Amino acid sequence: MVERSARDLSSRNAPYPAPYVEHWVAQLYGVRPGILDNPEKLQEALRSIAAALNLTVRDTFAHFFNPGISAVLILAESHLSCHTWPEHEYAHLDIVTCSPAVKRKNLIQSLTREFQPRHLSVVKLHY
């Protein structure tokens, strides 16, 4: 068996073609009260974000930690996950898609609308 680095496994290096993947990470600070410790409100907000980004929700799951929630939306295009820390007014989101559906401007607008953070960081990861 030949070991290869992640760099070696990119679609540019046949015979190991990789599928198209976009990975976005968002960090939200100073998030409005009420959403970070309410699974129903959080899932509603995440579904709204998915709709705004033209992503197709297939299923949802949330686990309440008290405090905090981990929620996942299974998408036709991959997944959206969110983990919250109400005691820090913080949420962390990952959005992974197999299509170029997510636009940075739309993502920032929908996150701002749903979470009303005092500070927001959005990064697109490149592999």
Assign residue 48 the CATH number of its domain: 3.60.90.10
Q: Determine how many CB atoms are found less than 10 A away from the CB of residue 31.
A: 23
The structural domain count of the chain equals 1
Look at residue 45 and tell me if it is in a domain. yes
Which range marks the domain in which residue 52 is found?
A: 34-125
Per-residue pLDDT band for 102 (boundaries 50, 70, 90) equals: very high
pTM: 0.86
Choosing from 10, 48, 63, 98, which is the catalytic residue? 98
Look at residue 11 and tell me if it is in a domain. no
Cis bond before residue 117 (omega within 30° of 0): no
Q: What are the tens digits of pLDDT across the range 64-100?
A: 998 999 999 999 999 999 999 999 999 999 999 998 9
Which residues, in sequence order, are CB contacts of 1 under 8 Å at separation 6+? none
Q: Could you give phi then psi for residue 44, rounded to 5 degrees?
A: -60, -45
Active-site annotation holds for 92? no
Q: What are the tens digits of pLDDT across the range 11-64?
A: 555 667 788 899 999 999 999 889 999 999 999 999 999 999 999 999 999 999
Choosing from 78, 79, 92, 99, which is the catalytic residue? 78
Active-site annotation holds for 99? no
Tell me the residue ranges of DSSP E strands in 1-118: 22-29, 57-64, 69-75, 78-85, 90-97
Active-site annotation holds for 83? yes
Q: Which residue has the tokens 């981990």?
A: 70
Task: Return the pLDDT at 28.
Answer: 99
